[in-house]
Amino acid sequence: MPLSLIAALPFLGALFPALMARAGRNTCAGVTGAFTALALLGLLLHAPAVLAGHEIVQRIAWVPQIGLNANFFLDGLGFLFALLILGIGLLIILYARFYLDPKDSMGEFYTYLLLFQGAMVGIVLSDNILLLLVFWELTSLSSFLLIGFWKHLAEGRQGARMALAVTGMGGLAMIAGMLILGHVAGSYDISEILKHREEIQASPLFLPAMLLILTGAFAKSAQFPFHFWLPHAMAAPTPVSAYLHSATMVKAGLFLMARLWPIFAGRPEWFYIVSTVGLLTMVMAAKIALFKDDLKALLAFSTVSHLGLITFLLGLGTKAGVIAAVFHIINHATFKAALFMTAGIVDHETHTRDAKRLGGLMTLMPITFTIATIAGLSMAGIPPFNGFISKEMMLEAAAHTYWLGNPWILGVVATLGAIFSVAYSLRYIAHVFLGPVREDYPSKPHDPVFGMWASPGVLAALVIAIGLFPMTVAGWIVTAAANAVTGSAVHPELALWHGITPALWMSIIAISGGALLVGLHGPLERLWLATPKPEAKRIFDALMAAATGAARGVTEGLHNGAISRYLTIFSVTCILAGVYAYAGGSVSAGHHALTPLEPVPLIAWFALMAATVAVVMYHHNRLLSLVLVGIIGLMVSIAFVYLSAPDLALTQISVEVVTVMLLLLALNFLPKTTPKESSAPRKWRDGIIAIAGGLGVGALIYALMIRDFAFKTISTYQMAHSKPDAGGENVVNVIIVDFRGYDTFGEITVLGIAAIAIYALTDALLRGPANARLRGWVPDLKRAGDRHPLMLVVATRVMMPIAVLVGIFIYLRGHNEPGGGFVAGLVIAIALLMQYMASGFAWAHLRQRFNYQALIGLGVLAAAVTGIGAFFNGRPFLTSDFGHFYIPYLGEFELATAMGFDLGVFLTVVGAVMLALASLSLIARRAGETVNRAPMSTDPREDAPEATPENKPGTDVAPDGDGPPPAPEGR
């Protein structure tokens, strides 16, 4: 089975639980387990090759330009973690089937679980650090959904947010470190990076890369100072806790450290940072766990402690440390998953997880007691269980390692951590299951059904089997994983008895000391509670509040809703960037002579400048400003014609006409003068910025025009390939519908969405307070008595068919002559706008037979269908084709698929412009422009008034009461 399919199966399976939820809990769980089992089967098929020392590789080019490839590889380390993820995942799926309450959405839970499982499998199988980062962030997002699954619990929501914030923040640091690492190694493929140990360690970027990557790994694996998020994730359902804490989420950081061990280990920075943080986390969390009464909190801090133990072993940088770390990863996954499930069983049956309210459950829940005792003793490191062996290996490694030249420090601290580990493990067993039976349990305890204890029972059996026969049961996978980490052959010796060694004496001290601490737990707890200590959650909340306040201050300071401020910041930034680029570069003198200036262009230039200055001087008069802006657009259109750019001229003048007409209609409901002027200093500031920006852009254009380019320009390519590749002589149109057709497709989609959104928002807003204000609105200027002049009405109706023919002509000729769908759409829109302006919206709207929203949708659909058609030719999306065809009596014609795309542009532009007009009409109707108000719709059948003698076509009275309202007295 391909590795990509193994990684994809959980994601594919996530589509089914929600669909199967109605078929019953067993079906839902069965379908979920089937996908996990199938992925596990595919993984096991590769076991012979992996155990023989081979690497399974699958390479898929994704975005090779930036080094992002969907490459997967499987070695011993990846096999171990994938086996734990999928194997324990199957047990969790079975356990969750019986643990979850019927009120819980089982389909939703299993969907989240499979998404998380797929993300974890993706991490351990990735051979590209960029792909690994994608899966890494997916684990944060999917774990957020799992931890916060019980949305009704405030602590669940808070725990999910905390986990996402801490691991997400660490992930951002890790992204930076990974990018640096890939840059130094010259590749983003992990298998290639591991081959460049010497180059990476010799680079000055080695330490920053390592620190950033370790930040991400420590945050994910809850190492100090990021340890606090993991216990708060306990608000999740117990199946989630068991999965996250044993085989998945928190093991991701350990996997990353093990995966990159070959290039980081051996350096003193790695040793002192990783081993010290790991040992500190191990001891600190173990001490806290001893005084936790909530069973899941106790197990959560114990998880943090054991993660610290494994981190410490990896930080030693020795083969013995790697072997012990790999073995303890296996052991911890077995006994910790079993312990969490037994804690869930106790909670499920007694309705409490408080150790002070429990005790005496040994006789009431014998099966649960047996499983919990086996797993608990293994966690304590008591023989003959598997936890004892890996704990011995840890103590042995610590006893033979110097720290700052001292041979005792690591051994003493490791023994202290082991003492606390024994203590909280024995307390879990003693305070929950031993002692007399109580009469005040919240609910009568009893062992659960087989389906709930089967999963922890399987894990307890593994705890015993690995402890008694370590080499037979686990030696093969430990060897394969340790070989993959170290890059060389290792020969682990896993056994219960290694003779009388320092580790044995350290274990005896740990067991004796742990038992003593449990016996003295009462007075020690009182001392613990009386001792002041920092609260990590309180510190985190304070930091988050401070960061949120600072972010809000910066955001509100910069984003105050004034577009003038945004434009100022943007313009100043661009100007400064330009000045910096000019000052830091070398600019050679241009060699092109200036074109002789003729009188007519000079006059036009002066007219353009005069209109621009006039806009600045008279901007407070909005109507006059709009007219001046139209003049500026007209002058620019003339400039395009003079510079032999007829397509741009047609587009510019069409856009200007449409814009001026719509703005005139909008201006009807706005003050005719600027209500508030800027202060004099601000005007000077804005003027200086505007002049500097204008001079900068002008200087850049001048510098480009007097120089030749040493490289082939885009325009050169487009002009050379327009006819042979796209069959069009109009390069501008070919660019729009072919060379950058994907951009155009996106633009028309956005244009249509914007028009529909504006219309919908206008309609929604006018149902509220805005409606009352508009109904009381009084125009601030006198109105003409004849709002629809007869000459204008007649002229527009005569022009309509002519304009339509012109628009169709411009559309058809666009591929080889100036024109195209965009300009044609604007021409048709102008003709329709004139009808609405001349005869009133109600009259024109009554006679149109198409829906504007549907027109936009049809346009986008036409463009999409045209683009998809390329797939049937084996070409990329929106690749156009053309051919020459002979039509009898008419001759030979060239037809191009781009016409279909251009038709989509045409329809979208017409629909968007007319829908904008419809939005303005909504405002007009609310403001009293029409007397007979009816629900507004772009469907003429809904909006049309009933035919009466007053509104029949041909009468003098405007339909739908669109005549002038009664004039106020004195008018």
Instruction: For 96-111, give the secondary structure using H, E and C.
Output: HHHHCCCCCCHHHHHH
3-class SS of residue 68: strand
Q: What is the pLDDT of residue 813?
A: 86
What string of DSSP letters covers 628-697?
Answer: HHHHHHHHHHHHHHHTT-HHHHHHHHHHHHHHHHHHHHHHTTS-SB-SSPPPHHHHHHHHHHHHHHHHHH
Report CA-CA distances (Å) from 22 to 27, 95, 107, 239, 459: 9, 20, 9, 21, 31
Q: How many CA atoms does the CB half-sphere of 946 hold within 13 Å?
A: 1
Which helix (H) or strand (E) covers residue 72, if one does? Answer: strand 72-74
How far is Cα 84 from Cα 898, in angstroms, rounded to an integer? 54
**Dihedral angle over CA of 243, 247, 248, 251, nearest 10:** 140
Question: Backbone phi, then psi, for 460, in 5-degree steps?
Answer: -65, -40
Residue 639 burial (10 A CB sphere; 0-12, 13-18, 19+): middle
Question: Backbone phi, then psi, for 470, in 5-degree steps?
Answer: -60, -45
3-class SS of residue 963: coil
DSSP code at position 472: I
Q: What is the pLDDT of residue 204?
A: 92
Q: Are 479 and 492 in contact (CB under 8 A)?
A: yes
Q: Tokens representing 732?
A: 């501008």
- Least Cα distance to 428 among 520, 317, 302, 589 occurs for 302
Which sequence spans correspond to the domains of the chain?
1-264, 266-519, 731-963
Q: Are 163 and 147 in contact (CB under 8 A)?
A: yes
Residue with tokens 């840059």: 183
Directed axis angle between helix 295-315 and helix 251-259, to 10°? Answer: 10
The set of residues, in sequence order, having a beta carbon less than 8 Å from that of 548 and lying 6+ positions away, is none
Q: Are 223 and 216 in contact (CB under 8 A)?
A: no
Q: What is the pLDDT of residue 155?
A: 84
Q: Tokens representing 570?
A: 């943007």
Q: Tokens representing 835?
A: 């009808």
Question: Backbone phi, then psi, for 443, in 5-degree steps?
Answer: -145, 150
How far is Cα 516 from Cα 962, in angstroms, rounded to an integer? 95
3-class SS of residue 74: strand
How far is Cα 631 from Cα 612, in angstroms, rounded to an integer? 9
**Dihedral angle over CA of 677, 680, 684, 687, nearest 10:** 20
Q: What is the pLDDT of residue 778?
A: 65
Query: How far is residue 197 CA from its own chain's centroid?
Result: 33
- Return the amino acid letter for 42: G
How far is Cα 399 from Cα 414, in angstroms, rounded to an integer? 9
The set of residues, in sequence order, having a beta carbon less than 8 Å from that of 722 and lying 6+ positions away, is 728, 729, 730, 731, 734, 735
- Least Cα distance to 734 among 535, 879, 560 occurs for 879
How far is Cα 140 from Cα 682, in angstroms, rounded to an integer? 47
DSSP code at position 383: T
Q: Are 593 and 705 in contact (CB under 8 A)?
A: no
Q: Tokens representing 808?
A: 């169709």
Q: Tokens representing 889?
A: 């009596």
For the chain, list residues with pLDDT below 70.
709-712, 768, 770-787, 845, 890, 924-971
DSSP code at position 304: H
Residue with tokens 């060379």: 739
What does R_g of the chain's alpha carbons equal in angstroms? Answer: 37
Q: Indicate the pairing of strand 882-887 with strand 891-896.
A: antiparallel
Question: ω before 225 within 30° of 0 (cis)?
Answer: yes
Answering whether pTM is above 0.75, one says no
How far is Cα 401 from Cα 399, in angstroms, rounded to an integer? 6
Give bridge partners of residue 68 from the DSSP assignment: 63
Other Cβ atoms less than 10 A from the Cβ of 778: the count is: 7
Q: What is the pLDDT of residue 939?
A: 42
Give bridge partners of residue 57 from the DSSP assignment: 73
Computed from CA positions of residues 741, 743, 749, 751, in that sequence, does the dihedral angle turn out positive or negative? negative
Report CA-CA distances (Å) from 174 to 126, 128, 277, 314: 16, 14, 17, 18
- Return the amino acid letter for 930: T
How far is Cα 43 from Cα 667, in angstroms, rounded to an integer? 68
Long-range contacts of 716-723 (CB under 8 A, 24+ apart): none
Q: How many CA atoms does the CB half-sphere of 473 hold within 13 Å?
A: 17
Residue with tokens 């940088």: 317
The set of residues, in sequence order, having a beta carbon less than 8 Å from that of 33 and lying 6+ positions away, is 90, 93, 94
Directed axis angle between helix 319-350 and helix 295-315, to 10°? Answer: 170
Q: What is the pLDDT of residue 377?
A: 95
How far is Cα 376 from Cα 335, in angstroms, rounded to an integer? 7
Q: Are 358 and 352 in contact (CB under 8 A)?
A: yes
Report CA-CA distances (Å) from 134 to 122, 171, 172, 257, 823: 9, 10, 11, 18, 43
The set of residues, in sequence order, having a beta carbon less than 8 Å from that of 252 and lying 6+ positions away, is 120, 123, 136, 139, 217, 220, 221
Computed from CA positions of residues 846, 850, 852, 854, in that sequence, does the dihedral angle turn out positive or negative? positive
Give bridge partners of residue 382 from the DSSP assignment: none
How far is Cα 286 from Cα 259, in angstroms, rounded to an integer? 27
Q: Are 348 and 452 in contact (CB under 8 A)?
A: yes
How far is Cα 646 from Cα 375, in angstroms, rounded to an integer? 82
Q: Are 39 and 10 in contact (CB under 8 A)?
A: yes
